[in-house]
Amino acid sequence: MQIHIKTYGCTLNRADSDIVESAALAAGMRLTDEQDADVIVVNTCTVKAVTERKILERLARYEAAGRRVVVTGCMASANSDLIERYAPGASIITTPNAHMIPGLAAGVAGGGRFVIDRYSRRDAALGAGMRSGVIARIPISDGCLSACSFCETKRARGPLNSFPEGSILRAVSNAVANGAREIELASQDTGAYGLDRGTDIARLMERISGIDGEFMVRIGMLNPEHMHRYIDRFISAMADRRFYKFVHLPVQSGSDRVLGAMRRNYTISSVMGMFGRLRAEVEGITLETDVIVGYPGETRSELEETFAFLESARPDITNISKFAPRPHAPASALPQFPNDEVKSRSSEASRRVRAIQHSINEGFIGKSVDVLITEKGAHSANGKTRSYRQVVISEGHESVALGTWQRAIIEKVSANALYGVLA
Ligand code: SF4
């Protein structure tokens, strides 16, 4: 039995695909290219309309070609009606049940169609870390505690379900024993981890610090809403050199009115406070954020407030998204801006962000940095510094092994990466 897994979306989705992959290999299946596969697994994402369209087009192509397909991921929970419209022959297995896919694959290949849409609480990072490359993605929870007005993922993943600390620690230890050098803790909202279990992400970080070995840990995106509960312990836990000095706090808007409309449950001054503390207390930290422009009703002066936040907080990385209504999200019922207006706001925001990022990165020219090599391509070896800054090494890349630390001198930069030569 040969399967092919196609993954869209976030780190959590990639972590879930790793789980399916591990279970398939354990069941004696082979992973293969799309054209040779008996069964194609499509792990889907609902965050952006443009991605959703691409997925549906792909499913329709598979359907027309008579391919045997299993759809999982957020669309399987949130938009199964669309899947049934575009690919009526595809099986649909919701994410918490995705580990069952290999067990159903023979039936799917033989023409069967399965729909498992019940919501099951996964109680562990099932199989995570059993098969790792240099990077192991470990899911730590499903769902979140928020109800952001623009978000459809909540509908797909449900309420917060944090996995037990013990199962996560076992998954991390397994991954490290199997050769992983970078551990990505994956979740919809890492900041909410444990709040349904009387614990939190800072406590999990303290426990991970107790695991022996040489590895780096990347903490996933944290909704700023919960950070105030544990920021002191979070900053202390970051002192372990094996945590990347990197925090991703998606602010979404610089306007308190828009944040309220988005139901984000924090103010811009509280986020400024977090940025300030993290910068002051975690040496060399890289701060990433996300911003949505063109939210329904966003005025010019509210957009300016977002720009003012960016100019003053100067995040090292900012991901700009154009607001796009998602079918089941409350904000989709509000009057929308024309596409051109949203596009022009996004272009303006992107121009400003590129300028900020480029000027921050210029400060690295001539500096010597340690880089953990996590990816090798035909023309370069790519890796991350201890502050999770992306470094590309071209000259001499052939001699550089995956999973090793290399010292590099930064020669040039772009808005998104540093380019170095081996020291
Ligand atoms: S925190 Fe908000 S944006 Fe993130 S998954 Fe939950 S509802 Fe969606």
User: Given the CA of residue 150, which atom of ligand 1 is nearest to it?
Assistant: 3
Q: What stretch of H or E contains 287?
A: strand 286-293
Tens-place pLDDT, residues 317-343: 999 999 999 888 999 999 999 999 999
When comparing pLDDT for 74 and 262, which is higher?
A: 262
Mean pLDDT for the chain?
A: 93
- C-alpha dihedral sign at 140, 143, 146, 149: positive
How many A from CA of 189 to the centre of ligand 1? 7
- Which of 102-111, 294-303, 347-356 shows the lowest mean pLDDT across its residues? 102-111
Q: State the Cα angle at 29 between 44 and 82, rounded to 5°.
A: 20
- Which of 167-171, 188-192, 295-299, 411-415 shows the lowest mean pLDDT across its residues? 167-171
How many A from CA of 152 to the centre of ligand 1? 8
pLDDT of residue 261 exceeding 80: yes
User: Given the CA of residue 221, which atom of ligand 1 is nearest to it?
Assistant: 4
Tens-place pLDDT, residues 42-55: 999 988 888 889 99
Q: In Å, how far are 76, 222, 373, 399 from 115, measured between CA atoms? A: 9, 32, 41, 48
Closest by CA to 408, choosing from 369, 352, 379, 382, is: 369
**pLDDT at residue 16 in the model:** 86
How many A from CA of 374 to the centre of ligand 1? 29
How many Cα atoms within 13 Å fall on the side-chain side of residue 385? 24
pLDDT of residue 129 exceeding 60: no
**pLDDT at residue 120 in the model:** 62
pLDDT of residue 142 exceeding 90: no
Tens-place pLDDT, residues 205-242: 999 999 999 999 999 999 999 999 999 999 999 999 99
User: Given the CA of residue 263, which atom of ligand 1 is nearest to it?
Assistant: 2
Closest by CA to 69, choosing from 100, 93, 97, 94, is: 93
The pTM of the full predicted model, rounded to 2 decimals, is 0.88
Q: Does 187 sit in the ligand 1 pocket, CB within 6 Å?
A: no
- Number of CB atoms found within 10 A of residue 35's CB: 8
pLDDT of residue 80 exceeding 90: no
Q: What is the pairing mode between strands 135-139 and 115-116?
A: unpaired
How many A from CA of 143 to the centre of ligand 1? 8
When comparing pLDDT for 132 and 87, which is higher?
A: 87
pLDDT of residue 199 exceeding 70: yes
Residue 377's φ and ψ, nearest 5 degrees, are -115, -175
Rounded to whole angstroms, the Cα distance separating 167 from 273 reads: 34
The amino acid occupying position 76 is: A
When comparing pLDDT for 143 and 319, which is higher?
A: 319
Tens-place pLDDT, residues 367-387: 999 999 999 999 999 999 999
> What is the percent of the chain with per-residue pLDDT over 70, rounded to a whole number?
96
Direct distance between the N- and C-terminal alpha carbons of the chain, in angstroms, rounded to an integer: 47
When comparing pLDDT for 23 and 414, which is higher?
A: 414
Cα 16 versus chain centre, distance: 12
Q: Does 258 sit in the ligand 1 pocket, CB within 6 Å?
A: no
**pLDDT at residue 46 in the model:** 85
Question: What is the set of domains in the chain, with CATH numbers?
Answer: 2-116 (3.40.50.360), 135-362 (3.80.30.20), 368-422 (2.40.50.140)
Q: What is the DSSP letter of 365?
A: T
Would you say 386 and 352 are in contact if contact means Cβ atoms under 8 Å apart?
Answer: no
**pLDDT at residue 23 in the model:** 85
pLDDT confidence band for 123 (50 / 70 / 90): low
Cα 62 versus chain centre, distance: 27
Locate 44 and state its tokens: 């889907």
